[in-house]
Amino acid sequence: MNNENNIDIIVRKAVQIYSEDTLVKKLKSGKKLVVKFGADPSRPDLHLGHTVPLRVLKMLQDMGHDIVFVIGDFTAMIGDPSGKSKTRPQLTFEETRKSGETYFKQVTKILDKEKTKIVYNSEWLNKLNFKDVLELTGKYTVARLLERDDFSNRFNNKTPIGVHEFMYPLMQGYDSVAIHADIEIGGTDQTFNLLVGRELQKDYGQEQQDVIVFPLLVGLDGKEKMSKSLDNYIGIDEEPSIMFEKSMRIPDSCLEDYFRLTTDIDTNTYKYWINTDIVDAHRKFAREIIKMYHGEDFIKDAEDKYNAKANKTLSDNIDTIKFNGNLPILLIDLLNDLKIVSSKSEGRRLIEQNGISVNQEKENNIDRIITKDDFKDGFIIIQKGKKVFLKVMFE
C-alpha cells in the first residue's frame, strides 16, 4: 500500500484532525516525522480499544516515521482526570514504573519492536525546578482549563478539584515540547490534552504538532468506552479462549465498529457477514483477533473450548422437553411436532431466514434431517431466534 493510500485511510478513520491541511502537507513532505503516542501506565493491560490508534501508528511506522511511545510514569502519579467525577488516588512512582514496563511488550504485538522508541516522561518532568513549573503554569489560564467538560462539571457541581489535577494537561502537553513531536495521536477523550500540546509548542517557539483524534471503542456493555476498570474489555494479551468468549458477547449493534476499527477486513466483506448471519460474524471476528494477537494455530482450540462451555451452560440452564418420535426426522417436522413453531410453514420460513440453530449451528437447509448422531449425550439444543432455547431429550 503506497503512502497516498495510507494518508487517505488515516484521514478517513479520524474523528477530527488539527489541522488536516498541515498534516497532509507534512506526510507528503518526505521528512521523517516524530509521532507521539502517550499512555497512562496505571493499568498496564492493553485492550482492543488501545489498538485503534496503535494500528494507525503502525501505518505511519511503515511509512518511515519515528514512533515515540511516551509512558506517563510521572503524570500517572496524578492520574488522568479526563472523564473523572472525583480526584483519583495518587500512585507511587515505583507503581507507575512497574506497570509501564509491561506496555512495551504488548504494543510490539502491533508495532515493530526494532523501530519503536519508548521513553518515560519522568526523564524531563522530574528535572523541572519550581521556577520551570511556574513558567509552565503561566502559559495557561484557569478559565482555559475549565473549558474541559470534566473540570467545568465538577466546578459547577462544587465537587473538589485538586490544583495538581490542573497540572495534568500541562504536563502531558509539555511531553510534546520535550520530544519535539510533529504529530500526536489519541482518542476523543484526550482531545483537550492533545491540543494543549499544540499551544505549548507554539509558546516554546516550536512548530505546532498536528493532532489526530480517533473514536473510542465501545466496550462489551455497549454503553461505556472500553475500559479495564469497567470490566468491559477484550485484552490483547488475554488467553485465546477468553478472547473468543468475549468476542461472542459484543453487542450486535457494535460489531460493525469492532470490525472497522480493530481489523483490516474489507468493509463490504464484514457487512455481508453481519447482514447474513450475525452469530457467525461474531465467530469470524473472534477468529480474526486471535489470529492477529496469538496466531492462527490457536483459533481451533479457543473455538472448541467456547463451544464446549456454551453447550454445557445451555444444557444446564434451559427448559427440557422430550421427543418420543422416530428418527431420522425432517427438522421442520421436529419443530412442528414439538410445538417450537406454530406450523410447518413458519418452520420453513425461520430456517430459510437463519432463525433456527441446532447445537449452536445455524440451519438454513429446509431439507435438513435430524438423526441420532445429532443427539450428543442424548439431547440436542434447538434455538429459535435470539431468546428461545430448548434442550430436546430423545427417548
- Give residue 315's pLDDT: 56
Residues 86 and 208 in one domain: yes
Residues 299 and 322 in one domain: no
CATH number for the domain that contains residue 35: 3.40.50.620
Q: By residue range, what is the domain housing residue 129?
A: 3-214
User: Region 40-62: what's the mean pLDDT?
Assistant: 83
- DSSP H stretches of helix in the chain: 3-13, 20-28, 48-62, 93-107, 122-125, 130-137, 142-145, 149-156, 163-179, 191-203, 240-247, 255-262, 267-276, 278-293, 299-317, 331-337, 344-352
386: pLDDT strictly greater than 80: no
Residues 177 and 108 in one domain: yes
Confidence band for 86, pLDDT divided at 50, 70 and 90: very low
pLDDT, tens only, 122-132: 899 989 999 99
Asked which of 313, 333, 358 is the last residue of a domain, the reply is 313
Residues 298 and 334 in one domain: no
| b/e burial code for range 272-293 (CB count within 10 A of at least 16 → b) | ebbeeeebebbbbbbbbbbebb
The candidate with the shortest Cα–Cα distance to 36, out of 65, 3, 74, 5, is 65
| DSSP conformation letters of 64-106 | TPEEEEEE-TTGGGT---TT-SSPPPPPPHHHHHHHHHHHHHH
User: Region 59-72: what's the mean pLDDT?
Assistant: 91
Number of domains in the chain: 3
Q: In the 8-state DSSP scheme, what is residue 234? A: -
Question: Which backbone phi and psi does 289 adopt, to 5 degrees?
Answer: -75, -30
- Give residue 321's pLDDT: 87
Asked which of 196, 214, 232 is the last residue of a domain, the reply is 214
Residues 15 and 142 in one domain: yes
Q: Is residue 90 part of a domain?
A: yes
Q: Is residue 233 part of a domain?
A: no
Please answer whether residues 375 and 304 qualify as being in contact, where contact means their C-beta atoms are separated by less than 8 angstroms: no
pLDDT, tens only, 288-325: 999 999 999 999 999 988 887 776 666 566 788 888 88
Pairing of strands 379-384, 388-394: antiparallel
Q: Is residue 363 part of a domain?
A: yes
Residues 115 and 246 in one domain: no
Q: Is residue 82 part of a domain?
A: yes
Residues 247 and 342 in one domain: no
Q: Is residue 53 part of a domain?
A: yes
User: Region 158-165: what's the mean pLDDT?
Assistant: 82
- Give residue 325's pLDDT: 86
Asked which of 313, 335, 352 is the last residue of a domain, the reply is 313
The mean pLDDT value of the chain amounts to 85
Pairing of strands 66-71, 369-370: unpaired
Joined together, the cell numbers standing for residue 214 give 480517533
Residues 306 and 194 in one domain: no
CATH number for the domain that contains residue 329: 3.10.290.10
pLDDT, tens only, 173-228: 999 999 999 999 998 888 888 999 999 999 999 999 999 999 889 999 888 888 87
Q: Is residue 134 part of a domain?
A: yes
| DSSP conformation letters of 149-218 | HHHHHHHHTT----HHHHHHHHHHHHHHHHHT-SEEEEEGGGHHHHHHHHHHHHHTTPPPPEEEEEPPPB
- Give residue 85's pLDDT: 44
107: pLDDT strictly greater than 60: yes
- Please state, for a pLDDT cut of 90, what percent of the chain lies above it: 37
